[in-house]
Protein backbone atom coordinates (compact mmCIF):
# COMPACT_ATOMS: atom_id res chain seq x y z
CA UNK A 1 0.00 0.00 0.00
CA UNK A 2 2.80 2.41 0.94
CA UNK A 3 4.60 1.59 -2.29
CA UNK A 4 1.48 2.36 -4.28
CA UNK A 5 1.01 5.72 -2.50
CA UNK A 6 4.66 6.61 -3.09
CA UNK A 7 4.29 5.73 -6.76
CA UNK A 8 1.22 7.92 -7.11
CA UNK A 9 2.98 10.79 -5.37
CA UNK A 10 5.89 10.51 -7.79
CA UNK A 11 3.49 10.65 -10.75
CA UNK A 12 1.74 13.70 -9.31
CA UNK A 13 5.07 15.43 -8.70
CA UNK A 14 6.18 14.68 -12.25
CA UNK A 15 3.05 16.11 -13.84
CA UNK A 16 3.03 19.08 -11.45
CA UNK A 17 6.62 20.00 -12.29
CA UNK A 18 6.00 19.46 -16.01
CA UNK A 19 3.07 21.85 -15.96
CA UNK A 20 5.30 24.65 -14.76
CA UNK A 21 8.51 23.64 -16.51
CA UNK A 22 10.65 26.28 -18.15
CA UNK A 23 10.94 26.46 -21.92
CA UNK A 24 12.90 28.56 -24.38
CA UNK A 25 11.86 30.68 -27.34
CA UNK A 26 13.97 32.68 -29.77
CA UNK A 27 12.73 36.24 -30.13
CA UNK A 28 13.13 38.51 -33.17
CA UNK A 29 16.41 39.95 -31.93
CA UNK A 30 17.64 36.33 -32.05
CA UNK A 31 17.83 36.16 -28.24
CA UNK A 32 17.14 32.96 -26.34
CA UNK A 33 14.46 33.70 -23.74
CA UNK A 34 13.48 31.31 -20.95
CA UNK A 35 9.78 31.35 -20.07
CA UNK A 36 7.42 29.48 -17.79
CA UNK A 37 5.41 26.81 -19.58
CA UNK A 38 2.14 28.73 -19.26
CA UNK A 39 1.76 32.50 -19.49
CA UNK A 40 -1.17 34.03 -17.64
CA UNK A 41 0.33 37.48 -16.92
CA UNK A 42 1.93 39.34 -19.85
CA UNK A 43 2.85 43.02 -20.17
CA UNK A 44 2.89 44.41 -23.73
CA UNK A 45 5.01 47.48 -24.48
CA UNK A 46 4.58 47.40 -28.26
CA UNK A 47 1.37 48.26 -30.10
CA UNK A 48 1.80 45.82 -33.00
CA UNK A 49 2.15 42.94 -30.55
CA UNK A 50 -0.86 44.23 -28.62
CA UNK A 51 -2.96 44.23 -31.80
CA UNK A 52 -1.88 40.69 -32.59
CA UNK A 53 -2.75 39.52 -29.07
CA UNK A 54 -6.23 40.99 -29.46
CA UNK A 55 -6.65 39.07 -32.72
CA UNK A 56 -5.31 35.86 -31.17
CA UNK A 57 -7.95 36.21 -28.41
CA UNK A 58 -5.28 36.39 -25.70
CA UNK A 59 -6.21 39.59 -23.87
CA UNK A 60 -7.31 37.65 -20.80
CA UNK A 61 -3.60 36.84 -20.36
CA UNK A 62 -2.50 40.52 -20.53
CA UNK A 63 -2.13 42.56 -17.32
CA UNK A 64 -0.39 45.73 -18.59
CA UNK A 65 0.14 47.67 -21.82
CA UNK A 66 2.09 50.58 -23.27
CA UNK A 67 0.91 54.06 -22.32
CA UNK A 68 0.62 55.24 -25.94
CA UNK A 69 -1.65 52.42 -27.09
CA UNK A 70 -4.51 54.79 -27.96
CA UNK A 71 -2.27 57.13 -29.93
CA UNK A 72 -0.72 54.21 -31.80
CA UNK A 73 -3.84 52.13 -32.44
CA UNK A 74 -6.36 54.94 -32.78
CA UNK A 75 -9.19 56.30 -30.61
CA UNK A 76 -11.71 53.73 -31.90
CA UNK A 77 -9.61 50.70 -30.94
CA UNK A 78 -11.21 50.45 -27.51
CA UNK A 79 -14.31 48.85 -28.97
CA UNK A 80 -12.14 45.97 -30.22
CA UNK A 81 -10.43 45.50 -26.84
CA UNK A 82 -12.62 46.99 -24.06
CA UNK A 83 -10.28 45.78 -21.31
CA UNK A 84 -7.75 48.43 -22.38
CA UNK A 85 -9.90 51.09 -20.67
CA UNK A 86 -8.71 49.98 -17.23
CA UNK A 87 -5.41 48.32 -18.08
CA UNK A 88 -2.31 49.45 -16.10
CA UNK A 89 0.35 51.19 -18.23
CA UNK A 90 3.81 50.59 -16.72
CA UNK A 91 5.83 51.86 -19.67
CA UNK A 92 5.94 52.68 -23.34
CA UNK A 93 7.90 51.81 -26.47
CA UNK A 94 11.25 53.13 -25.24
CA UNK A 95 10.90 53.49 -21.45
CA UNK A 96 9.59 51.56 -18.46
CA UNK A 97 8.69 52.31 -14.84
CA UNK A 98 10.25 49.28 -13.23
CA UNK A 99 8.35 49.61 -9.93
CA UNK A 100 5.01 49.78 -11.73
CA UNK A 101 6.03 46.85 -13.91
CA UNK A 102 7.05 44.67 -10.96
CA UNK A 103 3.78 45.41 -9.16
CA UNK A 104 1.94 43.59 -11.98
CA UNK A 105 3.96 40.36 -11.42
CA UNK A 106 4.30 39.61 -15.14
CA UNK A 107 5.71 36.35 -16.44
CA UNK A 108 6.83 37.94 -19.71
CA UNK A 109 7.28 41.46 -21.11
CA UNK A 110 6.88 42.08 -24.85
CA UNK A 111 8.92 44.98 -26.26
CA UNK A 112 9.67 46.45 -29.68
CA UNK A 113 12.88 45.38 -31.38
CA UNK A 114 14.11 49.00 -31.16
CA UNK A 115 13.52 49.30 -27.40
CA UNK A 116 16.76 50.66 -25.86
CA UNK A 117 19.18 47.98 -24.75
CA UNK A 118 19.30 49.52 -21.29
CA UNK A 119 15.53 49.25 -21.02
CA UNK A 120 15.66 45.54 -21.90
CA UNK A 121 18.55 45.00 -19.48
CA UNK A 122 16.71 46.85 -16.70
CA UNK A 123 13.69 44.58 -17.05
CA UNK A 124 15.85 41.47 -17.16
CA UNK A 125 17.82 42.55 -14.07
CA UNK A 126 14.49 42.62 -12.27
CA UNK A 127 14.15 38.93 -13.10
CA UNK A 128 11.56 39.23 -15.87
CA UNK A 129 11.83 37.55 -19.30
CA UNK A 130 11.76 39.96 -22.26
CA UNK A 131 10.56 38.99 -25.75
CA UNK A 132 11.40 41.46 -28.55
CA UNK A 133 9.17 41.59 -31.64
CA UNK A 134 10.16 43.21 -34.96
CA UNK A 135 7.82 41.54 -37.51
CA UNK A 136 10.82 41.46 -39.85
CA UNK A 137 13.41 38.82 -40.68
CA UNK A 138 16.64 40.76 -41.13
CA UNK A 139 20.44 40.62 -40.83
CA UNK A 140 21.78 40.79 -37.28
CA UNK A 141 23.27 44.25 -37.81
CA UNK A 142 19.82 45.66 -38.73
CA UNK A 143 17.77 43.87 -36.08
CA UNK A 144 17.40 46.73 -33.60
CA UNK A 145 16.79 49.52 -36.10
CA UNK A 146 13.56 51.40 -36.81
CA UNK A 147 14.65 52.11 -40.42
CA UNK A 148 16.65 49.04 -41.48
CA UNK A 149 18.46 48.50 -44.76
CA UNK A 150 17.05 45.29 -46.23
CA UNK A 151 18.34 43.53 -49.33
CA UNK A 152 14.99 41.88 -50.04
CA UNK A 153 12.32 43.94 -48.29
CA UNK A 154 9.39 41.81 -49.40
CA UNK A 155 10.96 38.60 -48.14
CA UNK A 156 12.07 40.23 -44.90
CA UNK A 157 8.55 41.42 -44.08
CA UNK A 158 6.69 38.35 -45.35
CA UNK A 159 8.80 35.92 -43.36
CA UNK A 160 9.14 38.31 -40.44
CA UNK A 161 5.38 38.70 -40.04
CA UNK A 162 4.96 34.94 -40.07
CA UNK A 163 7.80 34.55 -37.56
CA UNK A 164 6.31 37.24 -35.33
CA UNK A 165 2.79 35.82 -35.30
CA UNK A 166 4.12 32.33 -34.56
CA UNK A 167 6.45 33.67 -31.84
CA UNK A 168 3.64 35.52 -30.06
CA UNK A 169 1.37 32.50 -30.46
CA UNK A 170 4.03 30.20 -28.99
CA UNK A 171 4.71 32.48 -26.02
CA UNK A 172 1.02 32.76 -25.16
CA UNK A 173 -0.04 29.20 -25.94
CA UNK A 174 -2.03 30.26 -29.00
CA UNK A 175 -0.15 28.25 -31.62
CA UNK A 176 -3.24 26.94 -33.43
CA UNK A 177 -4.78 30.40 -33.77
CA UNK A 178 -1.46 31.84 -34.97
CA UNK A 179 -1.02 29.17 -37.65
CA UNK A 180 -4.58 29.62 -38.91
CA UNK A 181 -4.03 33.36 -39.17
CA UNK A 182 -0.80 33.00 -41.14
CA UNK A 183 -2.46 30.62 -43.60
CA UNK A 184 -5.54 32.78 -44.21
CA UNK A 185 -3.71 36.09 -44.50
CA UNK A 186 -1.28 34.91 -47.15
CA UNK A 187 -4.04 33.17 -49.11
CA UNK A 188 -5.90 36.49 -49.25
CA UNK A 189 -2.80 38.33 -50.43
CA UNK A 190 -2.28 35.78 -53.21
CA UNK A 191 -5.65 36.75 -54.73
CA UNK A 192 -4.54 40.37 -55.17
CA UNK A 193 -1.12 39.41 -56.49
CA UNK A 194 -2.68 37.14 -59.11
CA UNK A 195 -5.09 39.76 -60.45
CA UNK A 196 -2.40 42.43 -60.82
CA UNK A 197 0.41 40.22 -62.11
CA UNK A 198 0.12 41.27 -65.76
CA UNK A 199 0.32 45.06 -65.19
CA UNK A 200 3.76 46.31 -66.34
CA UNK A 201 5.71 48.35 -63.81
CA UNK A 202 5.65 51.48 -65.96
CA UNK A 203 1.84 51.34 -66.15
CA UNK A 204 1.20 51.02 -62.43
CA UNK A 205 -0.40 53.91 -60.54
CA UNK A 206 2.04 56.33 -58.91
CA UNK A 207 1.06 56.88 -55.26
CA UNK A 208 2.21 59.08 -52.38
CA UNK A 209 1.46 58.17 -48.74
CA UNK A 210 0.71 61.43 -46.90
CA UNK A 211 1.20 61.87 -43.16
CA UNK A 212 1.15 65.06 -41.04
CA UNK A 213 3.92 67.62 -41.59
CA UNK A 214 4.93 66.23 -45.00
CA UNK A 215 6.23 62.98 -43.56
CA UNK A 216 6.04 59.82 -45.66
CA UNK A 217 7.42 56.30 -46.05
CA UNK A 218 10.29 55.48 -48.37
CA UNK A 219 12.24 52.26 -48.84
CA UNK A 220 12.65 49.84 -45.94
CA UNK A 221 9.12 50.23 -44.58
CA UNK A 222 6.24 47.82 -44.94
CA UNK A 223 3.92 50.62 -46.05
CA UNK A 224 5.77 50.82 -49.35
CA UNK A 225 5.48 47.08 -49.83
CA UNK A 226 1.76 47.26 -49.10
CA UNK A 227 1.46 49.77 -51.93
CA UNK A 228 3.59 47.57 -54.18
CA UNK A 229 1.40 44.50 -53.57
CA UNK A 230 -1.67 46.62 -54.35
CA UNK A 231 -0.26 47.54 -57.76
CA UNK A 232 1.03 50.99 -56.79
CA UNK A 233 4.42 52.61 -57.25
CA UNK A 234 5.55 54.41 -54.10
CA UNK A 235 6.90 57.68 -55.50
CA UNK A 236 9.15 58.26 -52.48
CA UNK A 237 10.82 54.84 -52.45
CA UNK A 238 13.79 55.68 -54.65
CA UNK A 239 14.80 58.83 -52.80
CA UNK A 240 14.25 58.27 -49.08
CA UNK A 241 14.86 55.47 -46.60
CA UNK A 242 12.37 54.74 -43.84
CA UNK A 243 9.96 57.29 -42.36
CA UNK A 244 11.07 60.86 -43.09
CA UNK A 245 9.92 64.41 -43.67
CA UNK A 246 10.04 65.65 -47.25
CA UNK A 247 9.28 69.00 -48.87
CA UNK A 248 6.34 70.11 -50.97
CA UNK A 249 8.87 70.54 -53.79
CA UNK A 250 9.61 66.79 -53.52
CA UNK A 251 5.90 65.93 -53.82
CA UNK A 252 5.46 68.34 -56.77
CA UNK A 253 8.43 66.71 -58.49
CA UNK A 254 7.07 63.20 -57.88
CA UNK A 255 3.55 64.33 -58.97
CA UNK A 256 1.60 61.27 -57.76
CA UNK A 257 -1.66 60.27 -59.45
CA UNK A 258 -3.15 59.12 -56.14
CA UNK A 259 -2.56 60.14 -52.52
CA UNK A 260 -3.41 57.86 -49.62
CA UNK A 261 -3.76 59.09 -46.04
CA UNK A 262 -3.76 56.80 -43.01
CA UNK A 263 -7.07 56.46 -41.19
CA UNK A 264 -5.71 58.03 -38.01
CA UNK A 265 -4.93 61.33 -39.82
CA UNK A 266 -8.26 62.43 -41.38
CA UNK A 267 -7.33 66.10 -41.06
CA UNK A 268 -4.51 65.60 -43.58
CA UNK A 269 -7.00 64.94 -46.38
CA UNK A 270 -8.61 68.36 -45.99
CA UNK A 271 -5.25 70.05 -45.54
CA UNK A 272 -4.11 68.66 -48.88
CA UNK A 273 -7.34 69.40 -50.75
CA UNK A 274 -7.56 72.96 -49.41
CA UNK A 275 -3.91 73.99 -49.58
CA UNK A 276 -2.88 76.11 -52.61
CA UNK A 277 0.57 74.51 -52.72
CA UNK A 278 -0.91 71.07 -53.44
CA UNK A 279 -3.26 72.11 -56.25
CA UNK A 280 -0.80 71.46 -59.11
CA UNK A 281 -0.44 67.78 -58.18
CA UNK A 282 -2.39 65.34 -60.37
CA UNK A 283 -3.96 63.51 -57.43
CA UNK A 284 -5.42 66.75 -56.09
CA UNK A 285 -6.52 68.03 -59.51
CA UNK A 286 -8.55 64.86 -60.04
CA UNK A 287 -9.77 64.52 -56.43
CA UNK A 288 -7.95 61.22 -55.92
CA UNK A 289 -6.97 61.75 -52.31
CA UNK A 290 -8.26 58.85 -50.20
CA UNK A 291 -8.50 58.28 -46.47
CA UNK A 292 -7.59 54.67 -45.81
CA UNK A 293 -10.09 52.60 -43.81
CA UNK A 294 -9.41 51.32 -40.32
CA UNK A 295 -8.38 47.83 -41.46
CA UNK A 296 -5.64 49.18 -43.76
CA UNK A 297 -3.29 49.93 -40.89
CA UNK A 298 -0.12 51.28 -42.46
CA UNK A 299 2.11 51.56 -39.41
CA UNK A 300 5.38 50.94 -41.21
CA UNK A 301 5.08 47.34 -40.01
CA UNK A 302 2.81 44.65 -41.44
CA UNK A 303 -0.40 43.68 -39.70
CA UNK A 304 -2.50 40.68 -40.76
CA UNK A 305 -5.55 42.77 -41.64
CA UNK A 306 -3.40 45.06 -43.79
CA UNK A 307 -2.33 42.06 -45.89
CA UNK A 308 -5.70 40.33 -45.94
CA UNK A 309 -7.91 43.43 -46.32
CA UNK A 310 -5.88 46.64 -46.66
CA UNK A 311 -4.03 45.60 -49.79
CA UNK A 312 -7.31 44.45 -51.32
CA UNK A 313 -8.97 47.78 -50.53
CA UNK A 314 -6.02 49.66 -52.01
CA UNK A 315 -5.94 47.51 -55.16
CA UNK A 316 -9.72 47.82 -55.63
CA UNK A 317 -9.41 51.61 -55.24
CA UNK A 318 -6.65 51.80 -57.85
CA UNK A 319 -8.01 49.17 -60.27
CA UNK A 320 -11.76 48.90 -59.60
CA UNK A 321 -12.50 47.01 -62.82
CA UNK A 322 -10.21 44.13 -61.81
CA UNK A 323 -12.01 43.60 -58.49
CA UNK A 324 -15.61 44.38 -59.41
CA UNK A 325 -16.73 40.89 -58.36
CA UNK A 326 -15.22 41.18 -54.86
CA UNK A 327 -17.59 42.10 -52.02
CA UNK A 328 -15.03 43.88 -49.89
CA UNK A 329 -17.47 44.75 -47.12
CA UNK A 330 -18.38 41.08 -46.70
CA UNK A 331 -14.71 40.13 -46.43
CA UNK A 332 -14.12 42.88 -43.87
CA UNK A 333 -17.13 41.77 -41.81
CA UNK A 334 -16.00 38.14 -41.87
CA UNK A 335 -12.47 39.02 -40.82
CA UNK A 336 -13.53 41.23 -37.92
CA UNK A 337 -16.00 38.67 -36.64
CA UNK A 338 -13.40 35.92 -36.77
CA UNK A 339 -10.37 37.71 -35.32
CA UNK A 340 -11.74 40.67 -33.35
CA UNK A 341 -15.10 39.12 -32.39
CA UNK A 342 -16.55 42.51 -33.32
CA UNK A 343 -17.82 44.52 -36.26
CA UNK A 344 -15.61 46.88 -38.23
CA UNK A 345 -16.52 49.94 -40.13
CA UNK A 346 -18.04 50.77 -43.47
CA UNK A 347 -15.49 50.07 -46.16
CA UNK A 348 -14.65 53.01 -48.37
CA UNK A 349 -14.95 51.75 -51.91
d(CA 244, CA 201): 25
pLDDT of the residue at 341? 92
pLDDT above 60: residue 347: no
Angle between helices 153-172 and 222-229 (to 10 degrees): 110
d(CA 68, CA 89): 9
pLDDT above 80: residue 4: no
259 membership: H or E segment, kind and range? strand 258-261
In degrees and rounded to multiples of 5, residue 146 shows phi and psi of -75, -40
Q: Give the pLDDT mean for 284-296.
A: 92
Among 3-17, 114-128, 171-185, 297-311, the range scoring the smallest mean pLDDT is 3-17
CATH classification number, 2-133, choose in 3.20.20.80, 3.30.540.10, 3.40.50.2300, 3.40.50.1980: 3.40.50.1980
Domains 2-133 and 188-340 share a fold: yes
30 conformational bin, left if phi > 0, alpha if psi -120 to 50, beta if neither: left
Q: Give the pLDDT mean for 163-178.
A: 97
Q: What pLDDT band is residue 348 in, cutting at 50, 70 and 90?
A: very low
pLDDT of the residue at 13? 45
pLDDT of the residue at 252? 97
Among 8-12, 20-24, 286-290, the range scoring the smallest mean pLDDT is 8-12
Q: How far is CA 143 from CA 99, 113, 197, in A?
A: 28, 7, 32
Per-residue pLDDT tens over the stretch 294-330: 888 766 677 899 889 999 999 999 999 999 999 999 9
pLDDT above 90: residue 126: yes
% of residues, the chain, pLDDT over 70: 91
Q: Which residue has the higher pLDDT, 344 or 169?
A: 169
pLDDT above 50: residue 232: yes
Q: What pLDDT band is residue 121 in, cutting at 50, 70 and 90?
A: very high
pLDDT above 60: residue 64: yes
Q: Which residue has the higher pLDDT, 272 or 345?
A: 272
pLDDT of the residue at 189? 87
Chain-centroid distance, C-alpha 31? 21
Among 148-162, 235-249, 329-343, the range scoring the smallest mean pLDDT is 148-162
Do residues 106 and 40 touch, judged by C-beta distance below 8 A? no
Domain boundaries, the chain: 2-133, 188-340
CATH of region 188-340: 3.40.50.1980
Per-residue pLDDT tens over the stretch 19-56: 455 899 999 999 999 999 999 999 999 999 999 999 99
pLDDT of the residue at 208? 97
Sign of CA dihedral 333, 335, 338, 341: negative
Amino acid sequence: MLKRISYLLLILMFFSSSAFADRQVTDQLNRQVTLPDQITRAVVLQHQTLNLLVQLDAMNQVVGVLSSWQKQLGPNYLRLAPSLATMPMPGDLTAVNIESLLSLHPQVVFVANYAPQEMIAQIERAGLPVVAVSLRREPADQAGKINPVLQDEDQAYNLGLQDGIRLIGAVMGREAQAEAMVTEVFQQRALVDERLRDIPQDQRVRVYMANPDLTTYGAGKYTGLMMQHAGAVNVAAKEIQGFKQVSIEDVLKWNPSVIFVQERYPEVVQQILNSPQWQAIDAVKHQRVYLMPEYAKAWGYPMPEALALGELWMAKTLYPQRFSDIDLQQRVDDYYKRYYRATCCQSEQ
